[in-house]
Amino acid sequence: MLAAKINGTEQAMTPVIDPEACKPRAPRKLHAREQHPEDTVVRVGDVAIGGGAFVVIAGPCSVESEEQMVETAQAVRQGGGAILRGGAYKPRTSPYSFQGLGPNGLTLLGLAGKATGLPYVTELMDAEDLPLLEEQADMIQIGARNIQNFSLLKKVGRSSKPVLLKRGLMTTVDELLMSAEYILDGGNQSVVLCERGIRTFETATRNTLDLSVVPVLKERTHLPVIVDPSHAVGKRRYVAPMAKAALAVGADGIMVEVHCRPEAALCDGEQSLHPSEFAELMAQLRGMAAMCGRTI
């Protein structure tokens, strides 16, 4: 099929590269506030992220069973959470760890969503699963490890589902905005950015939550910005202070891990809040939000 280096007829098979194909495109800055001064509001079911309310996304790290999912969703609903989270496809460092329930996990998320009236967000790891998520999920999460998986970004950019884009452990602000740009450039304008901790030398917490990225992002982009304190701190008892700090710093919401029985969780139980802890945190957040003229 390829041209050989010897004779002429074969060389005719060499592709003729259009010089235009090698040129960069004229850069757009679809993410930039300078080109779009008003805040973007992203709708997930009936929930608006970025419109002034403080939106709480909560749920278990991974979907494990119907009982776990429905019970936890009810705790999220009762506490005042607006969106449910849960992983059906799990990015795990080791191939031998629990990898998620896959399509069955999506079914259970749907059940829990119906049981509580909450829309749900779940992570997409493989473009092959995008049609299924588009059909079933309310919001698609691109996880920290795929923040520069540009093939995947392009594909969700062609989707009509809202996207929750998590900053990677090593992602600069410029890179995060450029990864968002991949999605916007594809036509999907419903992108929510999420700070979830960066990797530093400090090991007292799992990662280092970079809350200063919130005012930086709010200045540079019109996209909503939320904070995931759970993955950043890695320990349940540090989640509530960081969640309150996220509200104070001006984030549009948080994503926290809640599990009906954290001690039995298959993944990240150490950082998941008990339902009662979640309810207590929500009460505190509501008080703080009211003082700032915001609702939860």
Positions 47 through 66 that interact with a second copy (CB under 8 A): 64-66
From the number of C-beta atoms within 10 Å of its C-beta (0-12, 13-18, 19+), residue 114 rates as exposed
User: CB-wise, 23 or 37, nearer to a second copy?
Assistant: 23
Give the DSSP per-residue string, 120-143. Answer: EEEE---GGGHHHHHHH-SEEEEP
Instruction: Tell me the C-alpha distance between 60 and 253, whole Å.
Output: 17
Between 78 and 97, CB nearer to a second copy? 97
Q: Give the nearest distance from C-beta 41 to a second copy in angstroms.
A: 21
Q: Which of 255, 263, 215, 260 is nearest to 239 (CA)?
A: 255
Residue choice 36, 189, 208, 269 for contact with a second copy (CB under 8 A): 208
Smallest gap, in angstroms, from Cβ of residue 271 to a second copy?
Answer: 12
**DSSP code at position 273:** B
Under rule CB under 8 A, which residues in 10-49 are in contact with a second copy? 13-15, 17, 21-28
Of the residues 123, 181, 257, 268, which one makes contact with a second copy according to CB under 8 A = 181
- Please answer whether residues 113 and 136 qualify as being in contact, where contact means their C-beta atoms are separated by less than 8 angstroms: no
The two tokens of residue 124 are 């997409």
- If one asks whether residue 88 binds a second copy (CB under 8 A), the answer comes out as no
User: Which residues 270-289 are close enough to bind a second copy by CB under 8 A?
Assistant: 287-288
Give the other-Cβ count within 10 Å of 274's Cβ. Answer: 16
- As a whole number of angstroms, the distance between CA 90 and CA 62 comes to 7
CA distance 195 to 8: 57
Contact positions with a second copy (CB under 8 A) in 237-256: 237-238, 241-242, 244-250
Residues 100-119 within binding reach of a second copy (CB under 8 A): 101, 104, 107-108, 110-111, 114-115
- The CA angle 119-126-154, to the nearest 5 degrees, is 85
Query: Residue 153 is encoded by which pair of tokens?
Result: 């970004």
The nearest distance, CB 272 to a second copy, in angstroms, is 16
Residues 147-166 that bind a second copy (CB under 8 A): 148-152, 154
Among 168, 224, 253, 275, binds a second copy (CB under 8 A): 168
User: Whose Cβ is closer to a second copy: residue 178's or residue 260's?
Assistant: 178
According to CB under 8 A, which one of 8, 9, 263, 291 is a site residue for a second copy? 291
Residue 9 touching a second copy (CB under 8 A): no
Pairing, β 42-44 against β 47-49: antiparallel
Q: How far from the centroid of its chain's Cα atoms is residue 242's Cα?
A: 18
Q: Total number of residues binding a second copy (CB under 8 A)? A: 96
- H-run or E-run covering 131: helix 130-136
State the nearest-atom distance from the C-beta of 162 to a second copy, in Å: 19
Helix %, strand %, coil % of the chain (to 5):
40, 15, 45
- With CB under 8 A as the contact rule, the residue among 141, 146, 230, 271 that binds a second copy is 146
Q: Is 199 in the site for a second copy (CB under 8 A)?
A: yes
Instruction: Please report whether residue 223 would count as binding a second copy according to CB under 8 A.
Output: no
188 binds a second copy (CB under 8 A): no
